[in-house]
Structure 1
Amino acid sequence: MEQGTLFVKLESAREALPVQGRVVISQTVNGVRVLEIELVTDEDGLTQPVTLDAPDRSISLDPASTQQAWAAYDVEAYADGYSDILLEGVQVYSGVEAYAPISMLPIFPSQAVSPTAVTADTGSTSREAQQDILHTTIPAPAIRGGSASGPAPLSTCATQPLVLQSVFIPQYITVHLGKPQNSAANETVSFPYYIKNVCSSEIYPTWPENAIRANIYAQISLALNRVYTEWYPSKGYNFNITNSTQYDQYYVSGRNIFTNISRIVDDIFNTYLRRVGDFAPYYAEYCNGTTVTCKGMSQWGTVSLAESGLSPIQILRRYYGNNFELVTTNDIRAIPSSYPGTPLRLGSTGNNVSIIQRQLNRIAKNYPAIGQQSVDGVFGATTQSAVRTFQKIFNLTQDGVVGKSTWYKISYIYVAVKKLAELGSESEPYPGGSGDAPGSGTDSIQQGAVGAQVAAVQYYLSYLAQTFYPTIPNIVPDGIFGAQTRSAVIAFQNTFGLTADGIV
């Protein structure tokens, strides 16, 4: 047996709040628990890394091997005021650091029903009597036996995909946890996290770095093609992509991520593959290359090509052709500031340093280990220390330099904590006065209603959607109960096991 490492991060409100709690890492063999390690998270929601046994690394580098290339562990998370979480099958590989970012859901005083259990390999939901723990099972990596063989037909609808006016990196992407035509939950996550999840779910983190990078470029391009062409919205669907490998690529709700994959994605998440002379991201078809072949990239083939010394673009051109190039865009929607183009480090000065200092100061209210500093536009030792602490908390390379990945992560977290603040105590009170429920008897609020109580309902739904429950669509409080508000109410009712009638 060789060894890998695992650490856990408890967070809430889409990374805006660290959660202090208790974590139990265990392993069960033939029904007997053979390992149990109990940890506590610090003020930034982090546990210490734990060294764990894992199978030999060589297994994950052999396409003919039938042995399991990872060790499976269970992670339980507990924190006062939050639902308990159980992740089954967290994957640990030899020589690789894994981390499990766990999104904790608060228990609200009026929440009288049990939380929903999510089984990650199907995306299905179920509600069992007396259930009191959120439960996710992480399936085996899906090194493809099937192919994402081009945009698959979805229905008899003849509507052609729309094409946006520019290629951009979306801050969020909405994933349908099933085939497009099947009833399943949607999950909205940040675009970088989506790519980290897909890569962690589709290939082994032990592969050579250039092989991992080539796969990530293909995964980014495929996803951006779906966004750019508005493939699913143009057909009436309310999501951007599915997690079905028959149509798109594999995303597993709630799974653990690998540090090396995470850091590569942070470095290249805004770079995609396109044909020379074209504008759109290329629909980069790929398959496993062993049991199934396709006209696109072989996932296992990238390993041998990387081992022979090929760069990521050379690997991609081997499969897609020499008339392809990698393109980087700094158009990242819904993030307030664009990367200045060169890293900020000790000795840097100017407005961009002031931006980082101001954003870190605001983030430090939620993550106090970062500390406060003067906003003077001078990148001194205090700013360097704050940057390193931020990088440690959010699993970035701890070099104290604000490169592209750190810049955008600071911007993303700044948006998250500000949004939470604007919905809470740092903003004006919610519209609608006291927010009292409708009166007794048959009084209710439904489509067509207007006024302060409607605005209050919309505010609460917006707060839940933006902070804790991405299954609820975000709406703008305007005091008018229209179709969008009704859809948000129905999503809320489904999330909490209420009658889904759209009536409050």
Structure 2
Amino acid sequence: MRNYVYPAQMQTQSMGKLSVRVNSQANLRPIENATVKITRTGDPTNVLEEIQTNSVGRTETIELPAPPLDYSLEPESMQPYSEYTLVISAPGFEDMTVSGAQILPTVTALQSSQLLPIVQPETSELFVIAPHTLYYEYPPKIAEDEIKDVSNFNIVLDRVVVPEYVVVHDGPPSDNSAKNYYVLYRDYIKNVASSEIYATWPEATIQANVLAIMSFTLNRVYTEWYRNKGYSFTITSSTAFDHKWIPERNVFENISVVVDSIFNNYLSRPGVKQPILTQYCDGVRVQCPNWMT
């Protein structure tokens, strides 16, 4: 394994891990012998690694340089993750480029990508991964009641049900140009958690944050909050209204394990059927009294 040292890692060299899974978007079957070229974002001509998928569409797990662990454990001005660009290709499929895949030290990043069969030549997909919410300043959450008044709502569910899918509107509710994505519920929670907390945190901290994300999401599901307002989606990707969800971003293996272990849990209050709309902020750049931080 070659060692690549970037300025952010000069003080203390750390390593993170990456594994890539590639499926066909047409039938979700794994793609064997897909090629993944990895470069540092901002330096696309220098290929650091080139790996291929096996018979189940997965690559080997490789190590990549990442910033020091302390950057993600304490408030820092330095970016706590490295950014890489992945160019994924396979015969008969459109190329896909994922720019800005985030690698944290000591943990494994999982990149799952679905390639489109070629319909016309010279086509490709590009996904640019937005910065992490703890490193970039997104619009703060607009405060809401944690228990919603649904007396005038049309609620179909007679109990809280964990859905198989959620429909994510990739923008503010009023943005009619934003795309809607059908996302597996567990995959949605993993994506949001990987976008809003650092996978290097203690497991108990990750569990608490995942539980808060699930409770918030299930409140939207149970109350059919947006559908009762005339929209055709479950939740948005806007931090002002909901959680940050990023199409095609990598998630982290330890966060994925936590979600799979507690995915059917949520927070509630005695005598209240609906899950709590658990709002939270970082408590450092944004102050939110009486919320989770």
Pairwise CA RMSD: 2.1
**Which residue number corresponds to residue 71 of structure 2?**
59
Distance of aligned partners of 1:92 and 1:14 in 2 relative to their CA distance in 1, 3 Å threshold: farther
Question: Could you say which residue in structure 1 is the equivalent of 2:202?
Answer: 208
- CA distance in structure 1 between the partners assigned to 2:41 and 2:245 by the alignment: 26
TM-score normalised to the size of structure 2? 0.87
Indicate how the Cα distance of structure 1 residues 133 and 173 shifts in structure 2: closer, same or farther if over 3 A, else same.
same
CA spacing shift, 1:269–1:47, aligned 2, 3 Å: same
> For 1:68-107, what aligned pairs fall within 5 Å after superposition?
68-107=79-118
Mark the CA change 1:255 to 1:15 in structure 2 (over 3 Å): closer, same or farther.
farther
The residue number in structure 2 matching 1:41 is: 53
Number of the residue aligned with 1:3: 15
Q: Does the 8 Å contact 2:37/2:47 carry over to 1?
A: no
In structure 2, how many angstroms separate the alpha carbons of the residues matched to 1:42 and 1:208? 32
Q: Secondary structure of the equivalent of 2:210?
A: helix
Please point out which of 286, 289, 298 is paired with 2:280. 286
How far, CA to CA, are the matches of 2:47 and 2:94 in structure 1? 24
Residues 76, 104 of structure 1: CA spacing in aligned structure 2 closer, same or farther, 3 A cutoff? Answer: same
Aligned length: 271
- Structure 1: runs of 5 or more not aligned: 115-130, 153-157, 299-504
Cα deviation, residue 99, structure 1: 1.1
- Deviations, residues 260-303 of structure 1 (Å, cap 9, x unaligned): 001110111111011122111110011111111223100xxxxx
What is the CA distance between 1:161 and its match in structure 2?
3.3
Q: Deviation of residue 162 (structure 1)? A: 3.0
The verdict on how the C-alpha distance between 1:32 and 1:193 changes in structure 2, with shifts beyond 3 A counting, is closer
* 2:292 paired residue number: 297
Against the structure 1 CA distance between its residues 83 and 170, is the aligned structure 2 distance closer, same or farther, given a 3 Å change threshold?
A: same
Note the alpha carbon deviations across 1:395-422, whole angstroms, 9 max, x for none. xxxxxxxxxxxxxxxxxxxxxxxxxxxx
Which one of the candidate residues 36, 39, 48 is aligned to 1:23?
Answer: 36
Higher helix share: 1
Shift of 1:38: 0.8
Q: Distance in 1 between matches of 2:31 and 2:84?
A: 22
Q: Which residue of 2 aligns with 1:170?
A: 163
Paired with 1:280 and 1:159, the residues of 2 have a C-alpha distance of 13
Quote the offset at 1:160 in angstroms: 3.8
**CA shift for structure 1 position 80:** 1.5
Please list the CA deviations of residues 86-144 of structure 1 after superposition, one character each: whole Å capped at 9, or x if unmatched.
0001111110111100111122xxx34x8xxxxxxxxxxxxxxxx62100011111137
- Over residues 335-356 of structure 1, what are the superposed CA-to-partner deviations in whole Å (9 max), with x where a residue is unaligned? xxxxxxxxxxxxxxxxxxxxxx
Cα deviation 1:160-202 (Å, max 9, x = unaligned): 4333211101000000000001121000010000000000011
Cα gap change, 1:180 to 1:140, in 2 (>3 Å)? same
Partner of 2:3 in structure 1?
none
After the TM superposition, which residues 126-205 of structure 1 pair with which residues of structure 2 at under 5 Å, given as runs?
Answer: 132-143=123-134, 146-150=140-144, 160-163=152-155, 164-183=157-176, 184-205=178-199
The structure carrying a bigger strand percent of its residues is 2
Structure exhibiting the larger radius of gyration computed from Cα positions: 1
Equivalents in 2 of 1:249, 1:28: separation in Å? 25
Equivalent residue runs for 1:46-445 within 5 Å: 46-63=58-75, 65-107=76-118, 111-112=119-120, 132-143=123-134, 146-150=140-144, 160-163=152-155, 164-183=157-176, 184-294=178-288, 295-298=290-293
Unpaired stretches in structure 2, ≥5 consecutive residues: 1-12
Distance 1:151 1:13 in 2: 39
> Matched residues in 2 for 1:32 and 1:182: separation?
33
Structure 1 pair 14/142, CA: closer, same or farther in 2 (3 Å)? farther
**Offset of residue 13 of structure 1:** 4.2
| Shift in Å, 1:150 | 1.6
